[in-house]
Structure formats: C-alpha cells, structure tokens
C-alpha cells in the first residue's frame, strides 16, 4: 500500500504554475527521490505535502486519508515531518534543546504544570532528555549536545535538523537538499545516515542535487521539470531516460 | 540544585532586606515598586523574550486587575479576594479572546495592535467615570487580609509583594526548562519549523499571552490594595513602554535579565530625583544606548562576558598544566 499519494497537484503563484498536474504515490519504507533543475518546483511540492502551502487544486492522501489543507502541526501529528533547504534550526537554543522540541508530540505537559514544576513535569523532562540524547547520539552529535546552535558550523546544523526531525518519530521524513553545502566526508556520513534512517522503518522523500548520492541510495526517482512530472522509475531507468538527459543537458 | 542556584541567592537577598533594614524607605516603599515591576517585566518577558511576540500594551492588563479590585470592592462592596478573582476571570477571557486574532499578526503589525489595546483600555479608565472615577481615579479600598491577617503596614506589604514576586520569577524559570518553554522558544526561533514538529503555534502563543496577562492582572489587584488608590495615569502607554524597556535593558529572553532591568529602571527615578523633569529623556537615552552598544541586553552581556572570562581562565590553567 502506498504511504503517500498526490493526485493532480497544482500550485500557482500569480501567473506562474510552480507545480501542475502532478500525481505520484510513495510506497512505504523506501527512499523516494525527487530531482529536477533549479526552480522545478521541488521545494514547493514539499511545502504542499506538509501543508505550509495549500495546493491551488488537487489533493494529498496520507495513509488513505485526505490531508489537503490540514494545519501543518496536525500533518506533523500524523507522522510527517521535514528538514529545510534554508536551515530552520532554532538558533536561540542548544543542540539538545532543538532535539527536545522534536519530542514535543511525545510529551504533554502544559504551561501551568511547567510553571509549578509538578513531579509529572520533572519525570517528563527526564524522559525527554533521554530520548533526545539517544537521537543525537544516533546522528553522531552526542558530544555537541550542550553547545548553543548559533555556535555550530553549517555541516553540523544540517545534521542537527535531521536529528530534530527524527526525534518527532515520523513515519515519513521529507529532506530538502540535505547534502547542499556539505564537503565530501560529510556527504558520505549523510549518505549512511539516510540509509540507516530508512532501515529503521521511516519512509524518506529526498530532494537533492547531488546525483551520485541520489542514484546510490534511492529506490525510486521522480523527475520534475517546470513543475511537471518528466519521468519516474528506478535510478537505472532515470539515468538512461532520454527525456531526463536532454532536460538536464539542455538546462546546463 | 544547580539550575536554581542564582534564584536561591536572589530569594535570600530579597527576604533578608526587611530583616536588615526594616525601617528603610528603600525597602518598604521602593521595594514594593521594584517587586511590582519585576513581576510585570518577567511576565512580559515570557511573551516577548521567550516567544518573541512584542506587546506594547502590557500595562492594560495590570490596569484591568487594579481597577477590577478597586471598582468591585469600593462601588459594589465585594470581598477583596472575590474581586481579585473576578478580575482574573475577566482578564483570562478577554486576553484569550484577543489572543488569537492579535497574535496572528507579526512584527510592526503586532506592535500596533497591542499598542491599540493599551490605549483603548487606558481611555476606558479615563472615560467610564461613573465606575472608574475618571482621570482623578478612586481611592479607599478595603484592607486585604490573608487568612485573617490584615496586610496593614508597609513592611507586611513588602513581604506580600516579595513572596508573590519570587513565586513569579520561579514560575518563569521553571517554564524555560519545560516542554512549554521550549515550544515558546521554538515559535521565536522558527515558526514553520515548530509547526513541522507538531507545535500548535497559535495555541502556544495564545496560552502564554493569557498567562502573562493574568500575572499582570494579579499584580494590578495587589497594587491597588497596597496603594489604596488607582488612577489611569499608572496604566498609560508610557508605562507599557517602560516595561518593554526593562525587558530589553536586562536582555530579552532571560528571566534574570528582566529582573535586573526592572530593578534598575525602578531605582533610576530615585537616583534621578534631582533631574525630575528629564526623567523620560534619560529613560529614552538609556534605551538608545543599550540598543546600539548592547543589543542583547545588559544582563545577558554581563553573563556572556563572565562565562567567557571563566572559560579563558580554565583554558589558561589547562595550558599551564599541559
Ligand atoms: N512563495 C512563492 N511565491 C512566488 N513564487 C514562488 C514561491 N515559492 C516558489 N516560487 C517559484 O516557484 C518556482 C519553483 O520554486 P521551488 O523553490 O519550488 O523550486 P526548487 O525546485 O525547490 O528549486 P531549487 O532547486 O533551486 O531549490 C520558482 O520559479 C520560484 O520562483
Ligand atoms: Mg528548493
């Protein structure tokens, strides 16, 4: 059964159709990559899948339910979360606190009980701290837990954003250009991390310009061009698809 | 506990003052003003510093608390505690209803909306004179008593305000290290990212708005009883700005920053008594200087410098041993 399904999605910005007539479905537990030249509409697609944008028309189904137009935090509540192309790390917190925010949905104390620091809050804090540390360590960030995010280098922040998303325990993780700006070593580490995340049972939709990374780890690749579906298939099929080759070469 | 070490020192100092100087004007008179301003600044900091939502109308809730107590006890002969409770309920409802539409706004628009709120409430205090006594205000509140003990001396008022203030500061510190506090900071950091992690940002903002309004409202009730007099002057736009200055002066987002900002700005008029006419000008100048040279605030800048020195020292000694 497919985890996520997009039907006839369309997003218009004024006169510009950033996405049009896009339908696809994402099976469970795979790495599903979306590629395409700059401005193809990849980030716009992510913004629709996470309800940050409302599609102009079309609909999105997740686990069989129509989630089109649902408030973003509710979409997250259903198990969809993401990372961002332009980092959205909470720079006003430490690394650990960032990941603790990721645990928001797996804890429940409110403002008043927090103010009074009831025993239930202390217990929850203890549990959240443990959960967050585990995730940080899984991502190889255990030793920077107490550093302020604003003092961390770019490569670490990119990983931190992934850690934060994992703390939310999603079923579906959307990653928007996680390798952008990383050096070769960092990209290799990232590659391993993404594979590991998928093996832990999380479905991944990956937007990435680094083709060797995409071709190496994806199970399925979808190519967007000017907001339209150009082709989709296995990495091998995409690499040998003449339309894709000419779109990329023509775009250069 | 290490987390609260600073708080305990502060609490001990606050509680020692009246024992050491029971007759000092600075304890019994200025002390109460300082405590009032600390609670107001700390509550405003929850909204402004933690959640990043500016409010230029915080004095309105302070005033609503004060007038609820004054009007209900004087004009309707209500029991002081009942009057205070009625004020809290009214402010809870009002701030909740206002919070959703107002906090949907951002930046300048939010500033304008909260400014408008403050001005409307102030005009109401002036104009609704059959209840509020108009510009002259009203006086003659009954004595407030706690479990049968009347709060009828300056020193007793100091104790009352000190304990209420210490509780508020503790609440604020507790919130910082909790799910709610992190959600507020997340709203401040990146609203979109917060939503993607399941934080209902509209709800979080609305809750903290109500919480901070209610703290201000209770402070207002106590203030009315302590002063035995309320007039619109105490709840004007200028006072809202003064509160913002306190929060910014100490350092946005830091509870102790708000505390220090409140202490400094409350003591300033005492020190500047000689310059009475220029007080507002001097306030403005301070705000400008801080914004230009220490945009992160006085307390936060001090704290950072302290930790930097500490680190350099420990690194220095490590170098020697290695
Ligand atoms: N909020 C917006 N308002 C107007 N136009 C937008 C908006 N967001 C995106 N666009 C336009 O939609 C098109 C698709 O943009 P999008 O960011 O989705 O591309 P992308 O595939 O993510 O590109 P890149 O690889 O550079 O990240 C672009 O032409 C962009 O200018
Ligand atoms: Mg993009």
pLDDT, tens digit (0-9, with 9 covering 90-100), for A21-61: 999 999 999 999 999 999 999 999 999 999 999 999 999 99
Region B124-129: what's the mean pLDDT? 93
- List residues of chain A with CB under 8 Å from any CB of chain B: 50, 52, 71-73, 76-77, 81-82, 84, 88-93, 97, 100-105, 107-112, 114-117, 121, 124-125, 128, 164-165, 167-168
* Distance (Å, whole) CA B7 – CA B10: 5
Which candidate, A146, A216, A213, places its Cα nearest to that of A182? Answer: A213
Q: Which domain holds residue A159?
A: 87-169
Residue where a domain stops, chosen among A169, A203, A221: A169
Cα of A76 vs centre of ligand 2, distance in Å, is: 20
Residue where a domain stops, chosen among A169, A197, A218: A169
For A79-90, the pLDDT digits (tens) are 999 999 999 999
For B7-29, the pLDDT digits (tens) are 999 999 999 998 888 888 888 88
Q: Is B228 helix (H, G, I), strand (E, B) or coil?
A: coil
Q: What is the DSSP secondary structure assignment for residue A219, as one 8-state letter?
A: S
Task: Name the CA radius of gyration of chain B, rounded.
Answer: 20
Ligand 1 atom closest to the Cα of residue A37 is 25
Q: Is B108 on the interface with A (CB under 8 A)?
A: no
**Would you place residue B320 in the very low, low, confident or very high pLDDT band (cuts 50, 70, 90)?**
very low
Question: Is A40 part of any domain?
Answer: yes
Q: Which residue has the higher pLDDT, A92 or B23?
A: A92
Number of domains in chain A: 2
* Distance (Å, whole) CA B32 – CA B38: 10
- Say if residue A2 is in the same domain as residue A46: yes
- Say if residue A106 is in the same domain as residue A119: yes
Residue ranges per structural domain of chain B: 2-321
Instruction: Look at the block and give the residue holding tokens 């006419």.
Output: B277
- Say if residue A199 is in the same domain as residue A238: yes
pLDDT tops 50 at residue A222: yes
* Closest in B179, B190, B194 to A107, CB measured: B179
**Would you place residue B2 in the very low, low, confident or very high pLDDT band (cuts 50, 70, 90)?**
confident
- Say if residue A162 is in the same domain as residue A54: no
- By the 8 A CB rule, do A11 and A50 touch? no
* Distance (Å, whole) CA B23 – CA B12: 19
Cβ contacts (< 8 Å) between A127 and chain B: which residues? Answer: none
pLDDT tops 80 at residue B316: no
Cβ contacts (< 8 Å) between A73 and chain B: which residues? Answer: 194-196, 198-201
- Say if residue A20 is in the same domain as residue A129: no
Cβ A90–B189 below 8 Å, yes or no?
yes
Q: Quick one: residue A66, left, alpha or beta (phi over 0 = left, psi -120 to 50 = alpha)?
A: beta
| pLDDT at residue A142, as a whole number | 94
- Say if residue A144 is in the same domain as residue A189: no
User: Which of A20, A41, A52 best tests ligand 1's pocket when mutated (most atoms within 8 Å of CB)?
Assistant: A41
Cβ contacts (< 8 Å) between A112 and chain B: which residues? Answer: 211
Q: Which residue has the higher pLDDT, B96 or B145?
A: B96
Region B185-196: what's the mean pLDDT? 96
Question: Is A251 part of any domain?
Answer: no
- Say if residue A73 is in the same domain as residue A17: yes
Least confident of A128-132, B9-13, B285-289: B285-289
CATH of the domain at A47: 3.40.50.300
User: Which of A10, A16, A33 best tests ligand 1's pocket when mutated (most atoms within 8 Å of CB)?
Assistant: A16
Q: Which residue has the higher pLDDT, B305 or B183?
A: B183
First CA to last CA distance, chain A:
38
State ipTM.
0.94
- What count of residues does chain B have? 322
Give just the sign of the alpha carbon dihedral A63, A66, A68, A70.
negative
Residue where a domain stops, chosen among A169, A194, A221: A169
Q: Quick one: residue B251, left, alpha or beta (phi over 0 = left, psi -120 to 50 = alpha)?
A: left
Which candidate, B180, A156, B52, places its Cα nearest to that of B44? Answer: B52
């Amino acid at each position: 059964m497919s985890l996520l399904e997009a039907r006839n999605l369309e997003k218009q910005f004024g006169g510009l159709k950033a996405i049009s007539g896009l339908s696809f479905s994402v099976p469970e537990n795979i790495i599903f990559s979306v590629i395409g030249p700059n401005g193809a509409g990849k980030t716009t697609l992510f913004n629709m899948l996470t309800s940050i944008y409302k599609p102009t028309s079309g609909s999105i189904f997740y686990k069989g339910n129509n989630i089109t137009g649902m408030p973003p935090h509710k979409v997250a509540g259903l198990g969809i979360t993401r990372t961002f192309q332009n980092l959205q790390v909470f720079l006003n917190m430490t690394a650990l606190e960032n990941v603790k925010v990721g645990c928001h949905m797996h804890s429940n104390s409110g403002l008043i009980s927090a103010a009074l620091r009831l025993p239930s809050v202390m217990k929850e804090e203890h549990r959240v701290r443990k959960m967050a540390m585990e995730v940080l360590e899984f991502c190889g960030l255990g030793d920077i837990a107490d550093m302020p995010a604003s003092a961390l280098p770019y490569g670490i922040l990119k990983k931190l954003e992934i850690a934060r998303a994992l703390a939310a325990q999603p079923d579906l993780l959307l990653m928007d250009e996680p390798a952008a700006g990383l050096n070769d070593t960092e990209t290799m580490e990232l590659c391993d991390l993404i594979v590991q995340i998928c093996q832990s049972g999380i479905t991944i939709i990956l937007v990435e310009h680094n083709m060797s990374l995409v071709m190496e780890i994806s199970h399925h690749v979808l190519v967007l061009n000017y907001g339209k579906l150009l082709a989709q298939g296995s990495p091998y099929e995409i690499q040998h698809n003449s339309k894709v080759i000419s779109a990329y070469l023509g775009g250069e | 506990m290490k987390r609260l070490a600073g708080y305990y020192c502060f609490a001990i100092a606050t509680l020692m003052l009246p024992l050491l100087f029971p007759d000092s004007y600075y304890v019994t008179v200025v002390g109460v003003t300082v405590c009032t301003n600390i609670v107001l600044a700390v509550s405003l900091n929850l909204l402004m510093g933690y959640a990043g939502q500016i409010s230029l109308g915080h004095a309105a809730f302070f005033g609503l608390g004060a007038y609820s107590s004054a009007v209900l006890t004087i004009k309707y002969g209500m029991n002081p505690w009942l009057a205070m409770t009625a004020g809290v309920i009214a402010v809870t409802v009002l701030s909740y209803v206002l919070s959703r539409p107002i906090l949907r706004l951002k930046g300048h628009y939010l500033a304008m909306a909260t400014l408008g709120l403050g001005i409307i409430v102030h005009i109401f205090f002036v104009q609704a004179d059959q209840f509020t006594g108009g510009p002259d205000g009203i006086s003659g509140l009954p004595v407030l008593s706690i479990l049968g003990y009347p709060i009828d001396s300056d020193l007793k008022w100091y104790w009352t305000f000190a304990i209420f203030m210490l509780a508020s500061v503790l609440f604020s510190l507790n919130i910082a290290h909790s799910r709610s506090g992190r959600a507020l900071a997340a709203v401040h950091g990146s609203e979109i990212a917060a939503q993607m992690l399941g934080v209902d940002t509209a709800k979080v903002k609305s809750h903290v708005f109500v919480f901070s309004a209610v703290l201000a409202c209770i402070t207002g009730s106590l203030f009315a009883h302590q002063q035995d007099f309320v007039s619109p002057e105490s709840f004007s736009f200028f006072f809202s700005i003064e509160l913002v200055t306190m929060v910014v002066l100490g350092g946005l987002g830091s509870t102790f920053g708000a505390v220090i900002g409140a202490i400094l700005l409350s003591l300033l008029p005492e020190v500047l008594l000689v310059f009475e006419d220029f007080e507002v000008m001097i306030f403005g100048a301070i705000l400008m200087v801080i914004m230009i040279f220490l945009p992160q605030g006085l307390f936060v800048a001090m704290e950072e410098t302290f930790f930097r020195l500490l680190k350099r020292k420990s690194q220095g000694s490590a170098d020697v041993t290695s």
